[in-house]
Amino acid sequence: MLSIEEYIARRKKEDKLNEFDLDARTQNMKICVDYIFEYFNNYLNTTEAEEKTVLHSEKLEKYRKQLDEYEPEVRDWAVSMYDEYGKQVNKYIGNMLKEDELFFLYNTDSEFRSVSYDCYTKLIKKLPFLKEQTEMLFLFIKDYHRVQSQKHFAFRVPTITEEISDWLEKTWAKHQVNLAAFAFDWINRFHDNEDIWPTSHRKKSQYSYRKYDYDYKQKSNLFNLNSLYRKIPKKPFIKGKKQVLEMLFMYYWLHDMEGDNDYWQEYLEKVLSALKKD
């Protein structure tokens, strides 16, 4: 953007104005005044609008790159909502979906549709433009599930036994459900919410920043698995897998929350030994 002095100098050069021509003094004065009006009324407004357009385009492109893992239709929709309303819908929707502790287990359109209805109800006041976007909201939620599930594969999937690895891989291939992502998500929720720990599983914490430590050496209902398992949708890939879920939970708790590899080996030997007897 030019300063007023630079703008006048440029316009003088374009018009080949000679301010030292005394015979044209009156005309030159009028022309110079016109330059000033042009600068403030036209040049500044036009330049500001052009810069705003460039910056806005850069902002949209940056947002588009954040959604690079999403399907083109979903990504284009989210970007168009950001362009028109200035709202990054993925963040609003993502925060809503994080409240659903079973989200990573969903794999049917009816489940995603139900989630979209609930999400719509909670978000419509903040994002009134969703009123005409219910189908795209459903498609976004479905794709969000895929993206977040795939991200966990890049992070870490535990290798506990060959059978468990086979179960995890086949469940993803056939049902698009990442059970490791579900287990990791549940353990993080459980760790951050001491209020849901049974009193029998609480120990006075040795650390000042928390009231209790979780007693993961208890023999039953580890990580509230009993009540959680009752809430889990009755799906073929989860039926009869309560013990395996406990193993996944224990793996993430000991490796990501506690760092107790010694107990992990002890626990694993006991469980695998018991399973062989069965």
Would you state the pLDDT for residue 57? 85
The predicted-structure confidence for 139-151, as pLDDT tens digits, reads as follows: 999 999 999 999 8
Phi, psi of 76 (to 5 degrees): -60, -40
pLDDT of residue 154: 66
Q: Which of 61, 105, 97 lies closest to 238, judged by CA?
A: 105
Which amino acid type is present at position 127? L
pLDDT in the model for residue 277? 67
Q: Can you read off the two tokens belonging to residue 118?
A: 């609930």
pLDDT of res. 249: 96
Residues 2, 36 contacting (CB under 8 angstroms): no
pLDDT value at position 206? 83
User: What is the per-residue pLDDT for 51?
Assistant: 61
Average pLDDT, the chain: 90
How do the domains of the chain map onto residue ranges?
A: 4-60, 67-155, 162-277
pTM score of the predicted model: 0.77
In the chain, which stretches have pLDDT less than 70? 1, 45-52, 154-155, 277-278
